[in-house]
Amino acid sequence: MPQRYKFIVLTNAVDDRDDEFNDWYSNVHLSDVTGIPGIVSAERYKLAHVQRNPQQPFRYLAIYEIETDDLEFVTAEIGRRAGTPAMVISDAMAADKIAAIFTPL
């Protein structure tokens, strides 16, 4: 039975390019990533206007659901496709990001 994981990615847009960034991320990037075998769904969020700590470094969150018996393949495939025609990366996305994969307890 495949194991479940959550792939969490925190990002920002380049200054003054939020509309372009969000259009690319929602309409291109999500389908590129969910086209990878094992990545079964994706959701995006923006930072809420109320925060316990108002100094948050990232404004956008993507949560991908992974179901696989071969997590190494999935992560390698993300790396193999990133920056190619199979997964174009927009220059409207800021370079700094946090990306991590979590497994249920």
The per-residue pLDDT for 1 is: 86
Instruction: Provide the whole-model pTM.
Output: 0.94
Checking if the pLDDT of 31 tops 90, the result is: yes
Domain ranges within the chain, ordered by starting residue: 3-102
Q: What amino acid occupies position 82?
A: A
Please give the CATH topology (third level) of the domain spanning 3-102. Alpha-Beta Plaits (3.30.70)
The per-residue pLDDT for 57 is: 97
pLDDT per residue as tens digits for the range 37-84: 999 999 999 999 999 998 999 999 999 999 999 999 999 999 999 999
Q: What percent of the chain has pLDDT over 90?
A: 98
Contacts of 4 (CB under 8 A, 6+ apart): 65, 66, 67, 103, 104
